[in-house]
Amino acid sequence: MGEVKVIGASLSSFCCRIEWALKLKGVEYEYIKEDLRNKSPILLQYNPVHKKIPVLVHNGKPVAESLVILEYIDETWQENPLLPKDPLEKSTARFWARFVDEKCIVSAWDACRAEEHEKERAVESAQESLGMIDKLIEGKKFFGGETIGFLDLVVGSLPNWLKFLEELGGIKLVDAEKFPSFHEWSKKFVEIPIIKEKIPMPDDLINYFTTSGLAKTIRGSALANNK
């Protein structure tokens, strides 16, 4: 149903959401790898406002912003629906997707980068957000129910990114005891073949950050100090 391209970067948690969604729906696409340190003219043309990945290009028309792209994919290719049909359930999924992006990811980064005297409070704040996600998945197999859905793809690589941020920042954010339901979900999620095929791994993230020199920008980083 038309030509589909994904402009992305393999370590981006936002990009893998898009690839997973397309694979779940059996949509063939061409993957265009973007070097974020040297942005291509294609990216600047297709996302002039933010100049960021991921960008989905369908029949030459670009769509940007991962959550917007997920909804576009769901409306365009209707097999294996990602979002619930019911308006209230859909609103709830959207609410938690925003929460993951605006609270969980941000607070985890803040905890990683916090100065020594602020670290404890920042970690507590991140754990408070993660605790809500843990509660949300309690008693359920996946966020989408029996099979994965929109929210599973959004939460997606969060466990791996948290492991990476823990190592980068010398902090502890999650463990099986503190967030048992989240831990169980993440074990099941990464075993799904299309997820396993392409998910940012903590070691790759650490490698990228240390070799690119970005780790030095993280204050108090155990990794930066070891360089």
Partner 1 sequence: MAEVKLHGRWSSPYVYRVIWALKLKGIPYEYIEEDLFNKGPLLLQYNPVHKKVPVLVHGGKPICESMIIVEYIEQTWPQNPLLPNNPYERAMARFWVKFADDNTDKDSPFWLLFRSSGEKQEKAIKESLEILKVVEEHGLGEKKFFGGDKIGIVDIAFVEFAYWLGFIEEIVGVKLLDAHAFPRLHAWQKNLKEVPVIKENLPDHGEMLVYFKWRREMLMASQ
Using CB under 8 A as the criterion, which residues of the chain lie in contact with partner 1 when the complex forms?
A: 48-49, 58, 61, 63-65, 67-69, 71-72, 75-76, 87-88, 90-91, 94-95, 98-99, 132
Q: Taking the complex as a whole, how short is the minimal distance between the CB of residue 7 and partner 1, in angstroms?
A: 15
Give the nearer residue to partner 1 in terms of CB position, either 62 or 170: 62
Give the nearer residue to partner 1 in terms of CB position, either 87 or 139: 87
Give the nearer residue to partner 1 in terms of CB position, either 30 or 89: 89
Question: Which structure tokens are listed for 93?
Answer: 């999924």
Q: Taking the complex as a whole, how short is the minimal distance between the CB of residue 190 and partner 1, in angstroms?
A: 27
Give the nearer residue to partner 1 in terms of CB position, either 49 or 193: 49
Q: Taking the complex as a whole, how short is the minimal distance between the CB of residue 68 and partner 1, in angstroms?
A: 5
Query: What is the rounded CA–CA span in Å between residue 69 and residue 199?
Result: 18
Q: Taking the complex as a whole, how short is the minimal distance between the CB of residue 194 and partner 1, in angstroms?
A: 23
- Specify whether the CB–CB gap between 5 and 46 falls below 8 A: no
- Beta-carbon contacts of 52 under 8 Å, excluding residues fewer than 6 positions away, are 64
Question: Which structure tokens are listed for 81?
Answer: 């629906």
Q: What is the CA radius of gyration of the chain?
A: 18
Give the nearer residue to partner 1 in terms of CB position, either 6 or 205: 6
Q: Taking the complex as a whole, how short is the minimal distance between the CB of residue 63 and partner 1, in angstroms?
A: 5
Q: Taking the complex as a whole, how short is the minimal distance between the CB of residue 51 and partner 1, in angstroms?
A: 12
Give the nearer residue to partner 1 in terms of CB position, either 81 or 170: 81
